[in-house]
Every structure is written in structure tokens, then in C-alpha cells.
A = this chain, B = another copy of it.
């Protein structure tokens, strides 16, 4: 985690204060359940909630001695609660607290990320409808192909992030489980009803079978899902980087009016935000593999996953949160140049319509071979003129062409509407009925 790629809410989630607060709630809820079961006095459970608290500096101090974070925490709580504190943590194992806390943190992190995706979806939808019919050239292999609209690009991203939302909801469910099952998960020293109570209070489901730890396939799936979402961030960022290239310039990241590009070169506005997002995507993606390697713990558990999660837990969620928010800002403020889109679209002198003319000639009775030859000899002239000649004009002036197709019929094939007729259908698929 580095401050410049972090947002406060997600950072706060991973700070000691939050972690210890969650620990406290787990312990206090567990004590409630134990009191209900008659294992500890109800008065003790009440006292814990009433007087409970902890002191981070004190916990650090104790941990330096004991080298055990949960014991240090419990000692600090005991200093607040007094005598009833001895009823805390009865039958629990440290991992019960640690793993359930991680589940709460990842579930909350998911909620922030889901809100991030929602904000991004909202921004994409606005821009999609705004530019539903802003025609631009579609490019395959980086080469001009046929017309699309800028709104379709936004709709595509909307559909992609809608899928990511579904995936993240599933990943959230995967990691939101509670385990309070003791040293090897057998409930030898604790009643399963305690687990059920804590789970319910924290909004988690019960881990069906734990082994001191919650199984790590859950976390692997979670981080792999973040990696996929990050890859979608990269895709949209890459699109914008391409559109902002000097030679293309169909869209630009927002520059404030007074902002200097680069000293005296007004064109030097760099897509630094989307380039940055490209790098952040690499980082988040790279964290999926250590998470997958964490799955194969030895027997009932080893602790090799812990150092991995201490790093990627905060890093992956903080980085993706930042990336999604940055991307949303980029989309919201993106400067779109529809005129430039048209100019680029027409750059080829109408060659993008050549296939349709070819089809029209065939349908008008020309053989496929003749049609091809007629179109190509005119297309080649347009191409070699580098934008000076227009295909429509050349065809209309070519008697071999007009022998099949009168000029009026030729013109009809240069209609952009032909390519846009299904845009509304696609929008309805993506955004639902209007």
C-alpha cells in the first residue's frame, strides 16, 4: 500500500483500530453466546460490552514482550473490563478471532468495491447514453474496420463491469464465513452455537468445516476475482490511452483549464491516469498467484498464508478501490471529441463502405469477381491518395460501376445509419428497456 494510490475508507479498514474493534466484537459476541449457554455468567458478558475497550499503544507494548498479538489484545481489554475479562475467549483459539476478523474485513472491503463498481457503472451509463449515437470508427487490429459509436464502447464496458459486479458478489459470499471451532476445528472446547451466534451478529455464514483456519480456497477465489476486475480496468484504461494518442485524439482525460500540459506544447496532454491504472492492474493481477499458492496449507493448517495475506489483503483491496475510483473519475470527466471521431472515420475517403458497395453490386447482378474488381480499382486510388479522393465520387464517375448501380443507388451505401440500426437493440440488452 502506498499513500498516493490509496483512499481513506479502505485504508481505515486495514488499520489496527479497525482490526482490534472487530476482534473485540467477535470476543464480546462469543461471550454473549457462552452466557446464553450458561458457560459464563451473563453479568460478565454485559460487563464486557459495557466497559470493553482497548489501547493500541498498550497492545503494542505487551506484544513486544509476549510476541502474541491476541494475548496482548486480551490483556489490554482486561485492563479496561476488570475481573469479568477472565470469561473472555473461553474455548476460542487465536485463529478463530483472526480468521473471522479477516472475513469481516474482506466482506467490508467487498462492500466498498461494490460501491466503487456501482459508481463506475453509473458513470459509464451516463456517457453511454450521452454518446449513444456519436459515430466513430471501429478498429480491429488497430486498423479501421466499420463504424461503431462511442456509446457502444461505454455500453461494452458497462456490461463488462456488470459481470464483474456479479463475480464480486459471489467472491464476497465465498469469504464471508465465520469459524469459531477451536484448535483443530472440532469444537472440542466450544459449542457450535457460539459460532452460529457470532456469525449471525457479524453478517457472516457459518464455515461448515474448518481446521483451526477457514480454508484458503475461499481467499484464492476472492483475490483471483480482484485480478479479473483489475484486468477489466486495464482494458478500459487501454482504450482511453489509445483514443488520446496524438494521431487519434478522439477523447482525452480531463485537463483543468489552467493546467499546463508541458510548458509550451499545448498538445502534450498525457493520459497519465489511465497509464497509471494499467500499472495498478498489473499489481492486483499479480497478487492472485500467491493467494492460490496459499491454498495447500499443511494438514490442519500452517501459517504460511499469513504473511501473504498481511500484504495482499490491504494491497489488493486498497489498490483496486483506488483504481476503480480513479477510473470512474476519468470516465465522468472524459473529454470526448465527436467531430474528431467523424474526421477519423472519414480519413479513409469512404473505404469503410467498400464492402457494402461490393454487396450492392452483386445484388444488382454483377458477378462476384467483376464486383470485386470494380470496387478494388477505385478503392486503391482512394487509398493511394491518402485522403485526397473519396470512394463515393470515384464510383459515381466510373461507368462500369454505374452500368450496374446508378449514382443514387451508390450514395445509399454510404449511409452511416446502416451501421447504427442495432445500437438501440444493444443498449436495451445492456441497460434494459428504456
Contact = CB atoms under 8 A, between A and B. Distances in A.
A85 to B, nearest CB: 13
Interface stretch (A23-31, A100-108, A109-117, A229-237): A229-237
A380 B304 CA distance: 28
Nearest to A373: B264
A74 to B, nearest CB: 14
A293 B358 CA distance: 37
Contact of A351 (B148, B267, B288): B267
Interface string A409-434: 00000000011111101100110000
A302 interface: yes
A355 B265 contact: yes
A242 B299 contact: yes
A170 interface: yes
A225 interface: yes
Interface in A264-282: 264-272, 275-276, 278-282
A82 interface: no
A168 B209 CA distance: 21
Dominant secondary structure at the A interface: helix
A315 interface: yes
A137 B211 CA distance: 12
A264 B376 contact: yes
Contacts of A418: 188
Interface string A363-384: 0000000001001100110010
Nearest to A339: B386
B209 A263 contact: no
Interface stretch (A42-50, A179-187, A327-335): A179-187
B184 A247 contact: no
Contact of A311 (B185, B315, B355): B315
Contacts of A429: 206, 208-209
A163 B218 contact: yes
A306 interface: yes
A287 B311 CA distance: 12
Contact of A290 (B164, B187, B286, B422): B286
A228 interface: yes
A270 B143 contact: yes
B299 A140 contact: yes
A83 interface: no
A146 B186 contact: yes
A235 to B, nearest CB: 4
A231 B217 contact: yes
A423 B186 contact: yes
A295 B156 contact: no
A430 B298 contact: no
Given A264-B355, A272-B141, A308-B282, A231 B220 contact: yes
A106 to B, nearest CB: 16
Contacts of A206: 429
Given A264-B355, A266-B351, A355-B263, A228 B143 contact: no
Interface string A137-151: 111111111111000
A297 to B, nearest CB: 7
Contacts of A235: 217, 295-297
A268 B382 CA distance: 13
Interface string A325-350: 00000000000000000001001100
B231 A298 contact: no
A276 B308 CA distance: 9
Given A266-B351, A288-B292, A289-B289, 8 more contacts: A139-B245, A148-B184, A188-B419, A231-B296, A238-B296, A279-B303, A279-B307, A283-B308
26 contacts: A5-B311, A138-B185, A138-B299, A138-B300, A140-B270, A140-B299, A142-B246, A146-B182, A167-B174, A167-B221, A186-B422, A209-B429, A217-B231, A220-B231, A224-B224, A228-B295, A238-B298, A264-B375, A264-B376, A275-B303, A278-B296, A282-B294, A283-B307, A286-B286, A286-B287, A311-B319
